[in-house]
Structures are given as C-alpha cells and as structure tokens.
Amino acid sequence: MLADRFDESTRWDPDLRSALLDRSRLIEWQHQTDRLLMAEGAGHLVHDLPVRADGRGADIESRPWRLDPVPFVIDTATFKWLAAAVVERMAALETVLADLYGERRLLRDGVVPSDSLHSTHRYRLSMVNAPAPLRWLTTYGVDLVRTADGVWKVVQDLTDAPPGLGYALLDRSVMARVLSDVHARSGVASLARFPGVLRRALAATAPTASPRTVLFTGGIDHPSYIDHSYLAVQLGVNLVEGADLVVRQRRLWLRTLDGLEPVDVVYRRLEDPGIDPLEVGSMGSAGVPGLLLAVRSGGAALANAHGAGVLEDPDVAAYVSAAVDHLLGTDLRLSRYEPEVDRGSGLASTPVLTEVGVVPGEYVLRMFATHDGMNVSVLPGGSCRLLAPDDRPTRPTACAAKDVWVIGSTLTPLVVPPLPQVDFGRSVPTRAAAALYWMNRAAERAEAVARVIRVVSSRVEQDPGLGSLDGGRWSERMQRISRGLRQAPDDVSDLPGLDALYDELSRAGDDVAFQIGNLLTEATTVREFLSVTTGRVLERLATSRAGLRRHVAAVDDLDALLTDLAALVGLWNESTVRGAAWRLGDVGRRLERSQVLLDGVAAGLGDVVGDPPLDPVDAATIEVMLAANESLVAYRRRYRSDVELQAAVSLLLCDRSNPRSLAFSLERLAEHAATAEWEAGVVLVRAAEDALSLDLAELVSTVQAALDEFGRTLVARWFAAPVSPRVVVSRR
C-alpha cells in the first residue's frame, strides 16, 4: 500500500489519505495549482522581465516555484505541541536578545564567546545600551525537521525579517480552491483570521491607537517579493520601497501624491543590513537614510527591531540553547538539529508528486508566530519546503513547497478585536502612482502595435497581391506605419517584396513583447491596487508575450492578445477604485493613446493626397489606419461609401463621440487635470484641442508638442522628488 512507504508526522485519517493520494486526480490538481500560482504572479512575474518603462532595471533571476498538490498534514495533537514549543522558543529568544544588547550577562559569564558575537556582521553595536525597543520580536519564524525516529528539531531561527508568511497564505488560497471538496470536509484549520492577528501585533508596536503601517520591501528584484506583495494585499497596507520613504525632523514619512504622510509602523520585510545606508554598510540603494535615527527618536516603530537578526548568524545560533539555560534555567522543548549527528539517522518523509508518480520526499517545516503585546499566536499551518537529494535543510534548493494542513475540530479559532477605522483612501505612494501611469502607457502602446500587426497580417492573408501593389508601395507604407508606432528609425529594408514587410512585422512583435514586459513589471509592483481577476489576465499576457519573439504572430494569437489587453482596460475601468491612483493611470493611458494615434497618422497619412479619386495604395492605407484604431466599422456605418481622407481624419482626430479619437482622449485628459486642480495641465490640453482645426501636418506637430510638454510637466509635478536648495551662511 502506498501509505506504508512514508514515515509521516501525523496520524492520517484513512479516508483523507485516500482522497489526497488519488492518482487519477493528482495530475489535474498539479495543473490547476500551476495555473493559479501563475495568476497570482508567483510564476511569470517573478522572473524574466525587462527594463522598466522609465529606464529602471529589474534585476530578476529566474526563480521557478511549484506547489505540490498533496498538502503536508499535521494532526491537532502534534500541532498543539509544536505551537507550544514555538511560543516558548520565541519568548526565550526575546530574553536572549534583550541581554545581548542590554546587561550582556551572557558575554560577561562567557556563555556566548565575545569573539563569536563581535565578529559577526549581524550584531549592531549601535543598539547596545540604547533605549530598548518595545519588543525585539513582533514576528518569528522557525524551520523544523523531524528525524526518522520521530523527534522534531530546530534547523534555524528566523528573527530578522522571517520570510514565507505571504507564501503560506497564498499556498492555502490556491489549495483551498484546487482541493475544495477535500478541504471543506476535512476540518482544516483556517488561516483567514491570521492577517488580522498580524495587523493587531504590528499596531501594538506603536503608541497610537490606529497607527499608519507600511510593509517595507526590497522591491521587485528581492527574492521574496511575491511573498511581500501578497502579504501586503492581505494586510491592507501600502507596500513600500526605500524610495517611497523619507526621514524629516526625526520622523518617518511616506511620499504620496498629496505630499508627505507620517508613518508609525514599518513592517520590515527587507533584511537588516539593507534598511539604513547611513548606519549599516549596506549594498545597493534599497534602504532609507536616517530610518534608524527616526526609530531611536520615537518617530517610527520597526518590526522586527534593528539587530534582532544576530541570532540567525550560525556562530551565535550555536550558543542559543546554552544562553537560554543560563538566563532562564530551563531547557527548551525543541533541540537544535546537528547535521553531523542527526543526518546519519535520516529524516522523516512525506508524499511528493513527481514525473514518475508519488514518492517519499524529505522536507523542512516553517512555522510562524506573532506577538500582539499580550499573547503569542501561532499560524495554524505554515510552509513546507521540499528537499532535493543531498540538500542541506538550511538551504533547500528545490523550489517546491506544500501547503500545511492542521486537521482537527478542537482548534480554537483566532479572534482579534478590530482596530479603530481610519480612511487611507487618499494615501497613494508616489512610486505606486508612477507604476500605474507607466503600466497603462505600456499597455496602450502594446495594443496599438499589436493591432497594426493583426490588421496588416490579416489583409495580406486575404489578398497576397497587396504586397506588390504599385511596385510594393503599399508594403513600404505598412512598414512605415509599423516603424512609426514602434518609434523606430524610418530605414528602408534591403529584403525583397513581402519579406521586408514580414521582417518588420516580426520586429513589431518583439516590440509588443517588450511593452508587455514593461506592463508586467509595473503591475507586479502595484498588485494591491489591482483586482484579483486582473492577475488572470496578466498570466495570459505573459504567455502571449513568450510567443511574440522574432516571428510573425498568427492572426488568431493576436486576436487573443488584443482580447486580453481589452479585458485589462475593462478591469481597470470597472474594478479599480477611481481615486488619485486610478486617475493618474488613466492619464497615462489617454496620453499614450493620443500619441500613438498621432504617430500612426504622421507615418501613414502624412503624404496621402486627399483629392478624389484616391490612389489604391492611399485608400488601402486609410482603411488600415481606421481598422487599426477600431474605427473602420463606424466609418462605413456613417458614410456608406469608399473611404476619403478628410472624413477619415475627422473621425480619427476630431470626433468627440468616437472613444478612439484624439479629441475624445484630450477631453478625458482635460477632465483629469481639472479634477486634480492642475492648471498647467488644463492649459496644455486646451492648447492641443485648439490645434484640431489646423491642417493635418501642423495639427500633428502642434498637438505632439503640447502632449510632450504635458507628459514632462506631469512627471515633474507628481513623480519627481522636489529639490529645494538653500544657501548655507556661516555664523559669525
């Protein structure tokens, strides 16, 4: 029997074991978990992304990650024992930290060797005898293994910025959907209330009743960014990077669209060495200069406290048990895992789905706890990481995890009193608003180029003779339109006939892929502003992006891509709260749509002679321009005649009833500028609207100049950090 092959950490119910190891369903479960993880951004958004639209790079490693469809199951008795051991250990480590930075009895009595402590880069001398934080450990994580003889042991304590809680919540969200029938009838302890517990714990670190809390991340290139992003959404707090925060007057402030907003609590997901470049020899620019000064001055609370990570250093961790015994006179329930001793006896295993079926696999169980000022709460679950052959438990190389199910009806649900309500609706970090702005601009440019590829490819499929029409002039015109939308040099290809057009459409596909990458990069940093359904669309866009490189995409594939881009716009308009963040994102979309339209008109219609009867190439070009801007059907319904230049230009540029027209977008830009009380923006848009009555060439150049200035002024107004120099006068 398959069950006999595994040395389990729990007494599985036979019916549950049978349901979870149903071979006929495991493969489908794996496909569903992969799909849902991708939709949450845990796959494609973690790696393989290009430079951002504003020039910033995203230093992304490829970090594929998979969730095994068979959960790790713990019975109630086992979990209660482990939870009590975790609570005990967290309290003991709090005492050890207080001594290492306070009385330092452990050093004086030689329990912790002075050279071991002072040689580690994790010990913060600035915290020695400094005013003690309210709490060293607000959150705590611990990695556990179970030896083959059934003994649980500690692999490592996570006291700095314990990663993985967001992943644990995400794993449960996925598995509860994939195994909904099994999950519902198995009495699995819920994780739904734990974010409320954590919110309460973070609030307890600050003196105010309902503090303003932010989750501090290292950004998109941090290895645990998806963990941070998902957790911020569950907590309902702003996800911030170093550039979002600034210290003024010994207080910490968040840069928002309305100015500087005070921050009371920083939930630190960035490791201690990177939080303040003024005090720690950090690498890169992820930290906030002066952050620790603000913390010491009471201008912000840090969870976990600066210096708490010293217990993660192996040279110090080796003495934790002795330190606890010396300070508290007691032995902890969980002893330390010693690889040279314990590895020889082997580790317990759990069922793992592989290509050859379900096999035994070794694992590391990570548990999480949080202190709310009065009590310690342990997550009734966790994260189970699978070990590859010859892995060290401290560093699993297999990017595979399991959801952790605590089974039993005797677990008391976590009940958390609510915090006082505060309206943070206008609290929009400047960086988040900028990301939404560039995300929408990239989406609009990607759609415009993709639509041109689709229209031109479809017409060549239906009428291959177009390629040689008038000596290839139509083909050259289509290439020019494509290059205009890509904002590429207008170079003549050396390739013959249709080969030159196909080569240009292939390059255009690369450009669409690049713009979608920009879109995904920016969307990754602002997931808290986007709906859950948007993640599904982003997943499909990432898949489409992979198929666009260096070949002419099939018309059906382009139709699917354009449908997803349209869905993204629909979700943006119907599922995003229309506050300041939405307004700036929509400004980006309208501005890019206007500029894309002008680029296309300049490239495709600039030398069209409008006198009837139209040249066949000119007529075919006008039809392409109308179709690429979703206006050909409207033109035919209105005029019921062959295309004419002036009527087409009027529909594309001046018709306020056409949502694809320049006039329509300008009207929306004027509304947004007026709502934001941005007078300079209103003046620039009005100047562009006044130019709609000019001749085509002058109209294009005048409106482009006004919109370019609009974009530059907008960035300077909301996204650029102001510089206020002052003269330094020597005192006499």
What type of residue is 198?
L
Least confident of 33-37, 355-359, 407-411: 407-411
Instruction: Show the 3-state SS of 41-99.
Output: CCCHHHCCCCCCCCCCCCCCCCCCCEECCCCEEEEHHHHHHHHHHHHHHHHHHHHHHHH
Instruction: Show the 3-state SS of 360-375.
Output: EEEEEEEEEEEECCCC
Q: What is the pLDDT of residues 673-725, one digit of tens each?
A: 999 999 999 999 999 999 999 999 999 999 999 999 999 999 988 887 654 43
Signed CA dihedral, 612, 618, 619, 625: sign only: negative
User: In the structure, what pLDDT confidence band is assigned to residue 59 with cuts at 50, 70 and 90?
Assistant: very low
The pTM (predicted TM-score) of the whole model is: 0.85
Residues with Cβ < 8 Å from 664, sequence gap 6 or more?
Answer: 655, 656, 657, 658
Residue 287 confidence (pLDDT): 87
Cβ atoms of residues 506 and 552 within 8 Å: yes
Residue 151 confidence (pLDDT): 92
The Cα–Cα gap between 350 and 362 comes to 6
The H or E element spanning position 195 is helix 194-203
- Residue of 584, 447, 475 lying closest to 529 (CA atoms): 584
The Cα–Cα gap between 445 and 434 comes to 17
Residue 9 confidence (pLDDT): 46
User: In the structure, what pLDDT confidence band is assigned to residue 726 with cuts at 50, 70 and 90?
Assistant: very low
Residue 7 confidence (pLDDT): 45
Strands (E) across 634-714 are located at none
Residue 453 confidence (pLDDT): 93
DSSP one-letter code for 690? H
The H or E element spanning position 20 is helix 14-20
Question: CA 352: distance to chain centroid?
Answer: 29
User: In the structure, what pLDDT confidence band is assigned to residue 580 with cuts at 50, 70 and 90?
Assistant: confident
Does residue 420 have a cis peptide bond before it, meaning omega lies within 30 degrees of 0?
A: no
For residue 438, pLDDT beyond 60: yes
Q: What is the pLDDT of residues 604-624, one digit of tens each?
A: 988 887 777 788 899 999 999
Residue 419 confidence (pLDDT): 55
Half-sphere exposure of 513 (CA within 13 A, CB side): 19
Report DSSP letters for 25-38, one per residue. Answer: HHHHHHHHHHHHHH
Length reported for the chain:
732
DSSP one-letter code for 309? G
For β-strands 376-378 and 335-336, DSSP reports them as unpaired
Cβ atoms of residues 543 and 564 within 8 Å: no
Interior CA angle at 46 toward 68 and 69, to 5°? 10
Structure tokens of 311? 């217990």
The Cα–Cα gap between 143 and 614 comes to 75
For residue 61, pLDDT beyond 60: no
User: In the structure, what pLDDT confidence band is assigned to residue 37 with cuts at 50, 70 and 90?
Assistant: confident
For β-strands 152-158 and 259-262, DSSP reports them as unpaired
The rounded mean pLDDT for the chain is 86
User: In the structure, what pLDDT confidence band is assigned to residue 578 with cuts at 50, 70 and 90?
Assistant: confident
Q: What is the CA radius of gyration of the chain?
A: 30
Percent pLDDT > 70 in the chain is 89
Per-residue CA distances from 704 to 440, 487, 594 (Å): 19, 13, 9
For residue 275, pLDDT beyond 60: yes
The Cα–Cα gap between 111 and 114 comes to 9
Q: What is the pLDDT of residues 387-404, one digit of tens each?
A: 988 888 888 877 789 999
User: In the structure, what pLDDT confidence band is assigned to residue 418 with cuts at 50, 70 and 90?
Assistant: low
Structure tokens of 87? 């609570």
Residue with tokens 């992003």: 229
